[in-house]
Structures are given as structure tokens and as C-alpha cells.
Structure 1
Amino acid sequence: MSGGILHPESLVLGASGTVGFGVVGALLEAGSPVLALGRDGPRMQALAQHFAEEPALSLMTSGCIQDDRDAAALVATLRKRKRPLRAVFASLGSAPESGRLLDRPSRLLSDKLERDLIPHLAAARHLLPLLAESNETAHYILIGGPHAERGWAGYGHASVAASALRMLAQVLHEEAQALGVRVQMLSVDHPISTPANACNACAEWPSALAVGRCAVSLLSCHEAPKPIVRYNAARAQPPLSTLFSDYTPASAHG
């Protein structure tokens, strides 16, 4: 597409996860080119196979962001792509481990924050300035899970980390205003319904695609942005128009 027009891209961090998979699907459904970042393995291979007929999907399997070094390397790679970046969706986190806080060594909480909170901060520190270079309103959307407001019995480490991520989203929302980037968290207050848990899932549990659609809907929301937006099934419907119906893409360089 050298010398032509490149639609801006949406970056999905944690694309190999359940919610990340849904965000990728929702973005493609809405007409957005997608760069999916995830750890190389069976889940990324499944993502590639599922969307094999989607030319707008690019995969990056160099690993996940863990610290500032990883985030800086990602930004360097993005700059080489020379495709405008419109949005980042961050669905990062590790599997919860059971056990009472009082029964486990304090180091376990430190490790949980290191895995679930620090990567979000590292990614935001390096990607927000890149998004700020856009000529249009850019979005940085974090996906937050349940139990951030009330403790999850037997999974206290996960609740503390989720609550800390929620506060991080609010701080980033305030600080990113000076950059002209909208930072918001989509708070999903129920577990995700998957084929693996379908027999035990409650009716109010959303699918990964529904969560993805709700997250993507924030890109075209014209209301004053709130730092925390709760998942709403009304926002999880298939899109009525593409993301670029009212967006003038930048010209490609080179």
C-alpha cells in the first residue's frame, strides 16, 4: 500500500487471552485493521486459524509486555510499521491462584502485582506518547475483570490486583488528558462465558465477543469519557457501521 491510504490500526495487547480474542474479533467485525500481540503458542495459533481469511489482521508473537524494556521495543517496532495507530486495547493478566491472603507468603501478592499491574503501567508509559502523535482522538482502553470492588472469596490476591488496576486506570485517565488521549477501563463485572464453562455459566455472563464489542463501542462514543465504564449488554450488539465511516485516514509514508 505504499503511496496509498492506510487506515489507522488498533493494537490488542494480550490477544491470545480469552477476552483479547473477543476484542480482535470485534475490531475486525467493525472494519478496523488489527495488530494482535500475544505470546507464541497454541492460543495465538488458534487465533490465526480462526481469522485466517481476515487480511486486516496482523500477528506479533514476540511475547508479552512485562516491563519498560519490552514496551519500548514494541513502540520501536510500531514506528517501523509506519501505520497510524488509533487505539490500544490492553487485556493483560495472569490466571488467578486460590488461597487466602493470610495463609500465603506476602511475596505472592508482590508477584501478582508484578504480573498483572506493572505490565499495564509499562505499556501505557510508552504507548500513550505514541498515540498522542495521532491527528485524531486516540483511545487507550484497559479491560478489567470482576471482583475489583468486592473481594473474591479464596482469591484475595486477584481482587487486590484488580482493584489496583482499576485505580491505575483512573490515574492514567487524568494524566493522559494532557496528551489528548482518552484512557478508559471497561469493567466487566461477571466471568466470561466460554465453551469450556458453558454448562455452569450464568445467563448474565457475557461472551468474549460481547465484551470485545462493548470495548470497541467506546471508540465511537461521543459522550464525555468516564475513566471507568461498566460492561453493558446494550453496547455489545453488532456494529451498524464501520469505524471509518466518519474518520479521515492519514496518508501512508514511503
Structure 2
Amino acid sequence: MKDALTPGALVLGASGNVGFGVVGALLEAGCPVLAVGREGPRMSALAEHFEDEPGLQLLHSPCIHDDRGAARLADEVRERGRPLRAVFASIGTPLQAGRLLDRPASFLLEKLEADLIPHLAAARHLLPLLSESQTAANYVLIGGPYAERGWSGYGHASVTGAAMRMLTQVLHEEAQTMGVRVQLLSVDKPVCTPENAVNACAEWPNALAVGRSAVSLLSRSGRAAQSIVTWSAHDAKPPEQTLARDFEDALFAVAGAKRNGRASA
């Protein structure tokens, strides 16, 4: 798994609850992971939890706010000289309850700058990096349950979430010429976390279930043409096979090399 030729995945927001689940799902599927997050207790907990996983590397990086931060991150990743197959973006500010009408208009602008602009900045600089890969590449954003319809008491999150859906659809179209598939995994239920477990409903997915669903998008299935994919419990099952072989086969195919005495298909 430490082979420098093995394509891996980069996880933005790895220190968050969903990011933690994505990291776990990738490692479970045999994919090397570069986990990006702010240095602190949560990243330390991530490292401790997966301390026996040789495929995990941590990259402590400040939050991405704009093009400057995203360009700096892309440069750091490129300098590592290891190919990427996928980027998973699970970034955003904590939910804040409150009606749209009860807060000044400037608050919505702040939410857009905090929850939408970083996604655009990251995509602008990481999509070109993915396009350099020698295998099929994916860029997966993860969205919450408040974007398709107004969520009572969380209007600002609904507006920014809807904007991220449209951002994904535009990026999905524009990135096709780069050979990168951009998709949004829309999780239509709240995620069960240690903080809300006491009050969580039985149908709420946990972070690992969300992570497994996100990782399932790496397969070139019938959902390849979809820019928005709704979370499904069916996709949250443990993987039946690892991704490592897929990566290896793809590299052999690109190189036109032979394997076991036969050219790879």
C-alpha cells in the first residue's frame, strides 16, 4: 500500500465526523489515504484510531478559504509525487439554528463564503491535479439533508446547500474535458455522531455508512452520468473486494504493460 505508484485518495475535512468515516471506508477498501485537516485533537484521534493502517498519511493544513489556500494545498500534494485517483470533500461550518428572517442579510453572505467558496477554490486547484493521474479520477463532494427543500430553522444551510448542488452540476459538466468525474453524494438524513447519538433516529446513517457510500462512487457504474447521487443504505455495505486491484489494473492498462503473460484489458 505504500508503493509510490499506487493511486490513492485525498480527504478534505478528514477531522470532521463524515471525513473520519470516509477515511475509514477508503482504508477498509484498500485505498491509500492522504487525510487533510487542521492540526488538533481530532486529527490526533484520527491518527490514533488508524495507527495500524500503513496506508494512512496525515497532512496538517489550515482550512481552505480561498484560491491562495487551495493552491498551497495542491502544491504540497503535488510535491509528494504520488498519483491521486480521488478527492473527497467534506468541509463546512457547523449547523446553526435560526430563521433567515431573524438574521441580517450579511449572515447569508458569511455562510456562502464559509461553506460554498472553499469548495469552488478546492476544486479549481485539485481538479487539475487529478487530471494528471494515469487512471480514471473522481471528485466527490458530500452534502447534507437540507438542500433539496427548506429545512425549518436552518434556512441558511438550505440556501448554501442548494447552491452547492448547482456548483456540483456545473463542475460535473466542466470537468468532463479534464477526464475527472465530479459528483455530490446527497445524504438525505442527519448523520449519527457521538454528539447526537442519544437523540438520533434509527434510520440515520453513521459516518462509516456515509463513507462507504461515497467510496462506492469510485466504481464506474450506471451512476457515472449523475452529478447528484442520493445516499442509499444499499451502498453502505462493506466492500466485497478491495480497490487496490482496480488501481493496479488501471495503471497496467495505461502503461500498456503485460500481466501474468497477457496484456491487461
User: Secondary structure, in 3 states, of the residue corresponding to 1:206?
Assistant: coil
Partner of 1:51: 50
1:247 deviates by 2.9
CA contact (8 A) 1:184 1:225 kept: no
Higher relative contact order (CA 8 A, sep 6+): 1
CA contact (8 A) 2:10 2:86 kept: yes
Matches for 1:162-181 after TM superposition, within 5 Å: 162-181=161-180
Partner of 1:194: 193
The answer as to 2:116 corresponding to 1:107 is no
1:65 deviates by 1.3
CA contact (8 A) 1:38 1:62 kept: yes
Greater share of helix: 2
User: Secondary structure, in 3 states, of the residue corresponding to 2:57?
Assistant: strand
Q: Deviations over 1:145-180 (max 9, x none)?
A: 111011111111111111111110111001101111
Query: What 5-or-longer segments of structure 2 have no aligned partner?
Result: 253-265
Matches for 1:152-167 after TM superposition, within 5 Å: 152-167=151-166
CA contact (8 A) 2:212 2:236 kept: yes
CA contact (8 A) 1:13 1:92 kept: yes
TM-score (norm 2): 0.91
CA distance in structure 2 between the partners assigned to 1:5 and 1:117 by the alignment: 33
1:101 deviates by 0.9
Partner of 1:132: 131
CA distance in structure 2 between the partners assigned to 1:124 and 1:114 by the alignment: 15
1:61 deviates by 1.1
Query: What 5-or-longer segments of structure 1 have no aligned partner?
Result: none
Q: Deviations over 1:65-110 (max 9, x none)?
A: 1110011111111111000011000001001222211111111000
User: Secondary structure, in 3 states, of the residue corresponding to 1:53?
Assistant: coil
CA separation of 1:5 and 1:12: change in aligned 2, threshold 3 A: closer
CA separation of 1:250 and 1:78: change in aligned 2, threshold 3 A: farther
1:250 deviates by 4.9
Partner of 1:226: 226
The answer as to 2:238 corresponding to 1:238 is yes
CA distance in structure 2 between the partners assigned to 1:196 and 1:110 by the alignment: 28
CA distance in structure 1 between the partners assigned to 2:202 and 2:50 by the alignment: 27
User: Secondary structure, in 3 states, of the residue corresponding to 1:199?
Assistant: helix
CA contact (8 A) 1:5 1:250 kept: no
TM-align CA RMSD: 1.6
CA distance in structure 2 between the partners assigned to 1:27 and 1:69 by the alignment: 28
Partner of 2:256: none
Matches for 1:28-39 after TM superposition, within 5 Å: 28-39=27-38
Matches for 1:64-79 after TM superposition, within 5 Å: 64-79=63-78
CA distance in structure 1 between the partners assigned to 2:225 and 2:244 by the alignment: 20
Q: Deviations over 1:171-200 (max 9, x none)?
A: 100110111100000000100112332221
CA contact (8 A) 1:22 1:211 kept: yes
CA distance in structure 2 between the partners assigned to 1:108 and 1:35 by the alignment: 33
User: Secondary structure, in 3 states, of the residue corresponding to 1:171?
Assistant: helix
TM-score (norm 1): 0.94
Q: Deviations over 1:109-149 (max 9, x none)?
A: 00000000000000000111111111211000000111101
Partner of 1:86: 85
- Letter matched to residue 95 of structure 1: P
